[in-house]
């Protein structure tokens, strides 16, 4: 009998220790302090609510360090639904050019006169480089935002400014690079991207409109699902590489994010969180949706890190990439309705972070 009592006491003590250990190891915290990745649950919910509910959004995905922290959609949308990306298409022209550099078709400093047979290489227009064409400082006159053109119109476009002197946002440079691939390289630019970008990443979706009935509209003609844009963002986050696939060599990729002296917030087709106050002329030349929300001296947001860059389309079509935070964000907005502000979004998302 005494032995039984001793065993009973030992069992009770063991059970008590187990309970205490279980309680002490429980990581559950209150909602006020719960965190997901580097953000609190409350901050993530506030960011989701703003991106989707308060600014007429169709999709929001926040991915950080290998995990999706927030994912939500408006009714009738999923991560697999194709969505118009408007001028987010333009950054595909930059990726297209970077892969062409990798393949030896040209360099960023190749003059257009060497690529466009009808142009005189000795003319000022013929001396404009691929870099100047795609960082929008070529000086070549451009159609207005959203306007269509014929091949004859863009091939006959004259010099409006001295090359390298002025930033002008418009579709003509993207029509020209599309024409170069179609006519000079005998390559559909999207077929080229399929071979060298989408297929290596396992992506097969997306659609494009054309301009002048046959040339891929690299200015604002793309539609892609949120999941595919996320994967492109992960490739960009990794400086041109994803899952062992080198899409863009790192030295070539780096050139995409170098701003011109004329446009401190724009690289080769990518928007940069640059200091726009250095150039007031650049600020006034921004498309209306960016000009209206530019905060202080930063193009995208003073609340966000300096290394933030983005693909951006009208009505809040966004692909944000922040390498220092291992962060990729996809946000799609309702066409003709969304009133999304980059700056307001990052003021919400970065509220608790010390940068």
Q: Retrieve residue 226's tokens.
A: 């949120």
Helix ranges restricted to H, 128-225: 130-134, 151-155, 172-179, 189-193
Structural contact between residues 68 and 48, judged by C-beta atoms closer than 8 angstroms: no
* Buried/exposed code over 33-67 (b: 16+ C-beta within 10 A; e: otherwise): eeebbebbbebbbbbbebbbeebbbbbbbbbbeee
Give the pLDDT score at 30: 35
Rounded Cα distance, 37 and 41, in Å: 9
Q: Comparing 288 with 147, which gets the higher pLDDT? A: 147
User: By the 8 A CB rule, do 286 and 298 touch?
Assistant: no
| pLDDT higher than threshold 80 for residue 15 | no
Burial of 323 (0-12, 13-18, 19+ CB in 10 A): middle
Sign of CA dihedral 322, 84, 193, 109: negative
- Looking at per-residue pLDDT, the higher value among 317 and 11 belongs to 317
Token pair belonging to 295: 């905060």
61-69: average pLDDT: 98
Q: 166, 262 in Cβ contact below 8 A?
A: yes
pLDDT for 105 equals: 99
pLDDT score at 157 = 97
pLDDT value of residue 33: 42
Is residue 29 scored above 70 in pLDDT? Answer: no
Q: What is the CA radius of gyration of the chain?
A: 25
> What pLDDT score does 298 carry?
86
pLDDT score recorded for residue 313: 97
Q: What percent of the chain has pLDDT over 90?
A: 80
Residues 6+ apart with CB under 8 A from 184: 115, 116, 117
Instruction: Evaluate if residue 98 carries a pLDDT over 50.
Output: yes
DSSP code string of 114-138: GT-TTS-TTSHHHH-BHHHHHTT-S
The sign one gets for the Cα dihedral 158, 285, 182, 110 is positive
35 — pLDDT class (breaks 50, 70, 90) = low
Q: Model confidence at 294, in pLDDT bands (50, 70, 90)? A: low
pLDDT of 338 above 50:
yes
Mean pLDDT for the stretch of residues 170-175: 98
Per-domain residue ranges of the chain: 35-349
40 in helix, strand or coil? strand
Residue 121 is predicted with a pLDDT of 98
H helix intervals, the chain: 2-25, 41-48, 90-102, 124-127, 130-134, 151-155, 172-179, 189-193, 226-237, 250-256, 280-285, 288-291, 342-349
**Exposed / middle / buried, residue 219 (Cβ in 10 Å: 0-12, 13-18, 19+):** buried
pLDDT of residue 27: 39
Residue-wise pLDDT tens digits, 187-218: 999 999 999 999 999 999 999 999 999 999 99
Residue 263 confidence (pLDDT) above 50:
yes
Task: Report residue 185's pLDDT band, with 50, 70 and 90 as the boundaries.
Answer: very high
Strands (E) located in 158-281? 207-208, 210-211, 215-216, 222-225, 241-242, 245-246, 271-272
Percent of the chain with pLDDT strictly greater than 70:
88
More confident residue, 291 or 126: 126
Question: Which tokens hold the place of 318?
Answer: 């966004």
Q: What mean pLDDT is predicted for residues 90-118?
A: 99
Residue 86: its H or E element: strand 82-86
**How buried is 261 (Cβ within 10 angstroms: 0-12 exposed, 13-18 middle, 19+ buried)?**
exposed
Which contiguous run of DSSP H or E holds residue 317?
strand 317-322
Regarding the domain delimited by 35-349, which CATH topology (the fold level of the hierarchy) does it fall under?
A: Beta-lactamase (3.40.710)
- For residues 62-71, give the mean pLDDT: 98
Question: What is the structure's pLDDT at 36?
Answer: 75
pLDDT at 2 over 60: no
Confidence (pTM): 0.89
pLDDT at 156 over 90: yes
Q: Say if residue 167's pLDDT is above 70.
A: yes
Per mean pLDDT, which range of 2-6, 116-120, 175-179, 297-301 is the poorest?
A: 2-6
More confident residue, 210 or 283: 210
Rounded to an integer, the average pLDDT of 233-251 is 97
Q: How far apart are CA 278 and CA 264, in angstroms?
A: 7
216 strand-pairing partners: 210
Asked if 211 contacts 221 with a C-beta cutoff of 8 angstroms, the reply is yes
What's residue 149's pLDDT? 96
């Amino acid at each position: 009998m005494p032995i039984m009592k001793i065993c009973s006491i030992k069992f009770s003590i063991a059970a008590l220790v187990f309970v205490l250990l279980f309680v002490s190891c429980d990581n559950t915290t209150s909602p006020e302090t719960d965190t997901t990745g580097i953000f609190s649950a409350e901050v993530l919910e506030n960011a989701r609510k703003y991106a989707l509910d308060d600014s007429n959004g169709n999709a929001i995905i926040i991915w950080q360090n290998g995990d999706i922290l927030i994912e939500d959609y408006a009714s009738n949308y999923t991560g697999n639904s194709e969505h118009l990306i408007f001028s987010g298409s333009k950054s595909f022209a930059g990726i297209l050019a970077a892969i062409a550099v990798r393949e030896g078709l040209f360099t960023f400093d190749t003059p257009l006169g060497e690529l466009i047979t009808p142009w005189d290489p000795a003319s000022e227009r013929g001396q404009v480089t691929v870099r100047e064409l795609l960082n929008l400082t070529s000086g070549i006159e451009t159609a207005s935002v959203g306007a269509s053109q014929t091949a004859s119109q863009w091939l006959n476009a004259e010099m409006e400014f001295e090359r390298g002197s002025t930033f002008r946002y418009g579709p003509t440079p993207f029509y020209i690079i599309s024409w170069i691939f179609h006519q000079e390289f005998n390559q559909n630019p999207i077929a080229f991207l399929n071979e060298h970008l989408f297929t290596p990443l396992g992506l097969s979706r997306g659609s494009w409109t054309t301009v002048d009935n046959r040339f891929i509209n690299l200015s604002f003609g793309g539609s892609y699902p949120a999941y595919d844009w996320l994967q492109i963002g992960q490739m960009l986050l990794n400086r041109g590489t994803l899952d062992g696939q080198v899409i863009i060599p790192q030295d070539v990729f780096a050139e995409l994010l170098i701003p011109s002296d004329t446009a401190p917030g724009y690289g080769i087709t990518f928007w940069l969180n640059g200091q726009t106050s250095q150039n007031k002329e650049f600020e006034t030349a921004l498309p209306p949706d960016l000009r209206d929300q530019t905060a202080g001296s930063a193009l995208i947001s003073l609340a966000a890190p300096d290394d933030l860059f983005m693909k951006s389309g009208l009505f809040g079509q966004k692909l944000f990439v922040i390498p220092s935070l291992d962060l990729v964000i996809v946000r799609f907005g309702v066409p003709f309705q969304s009133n999304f502000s980059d700056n307001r979004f990052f003021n919400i998302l970065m509220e608790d972070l010390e940068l």
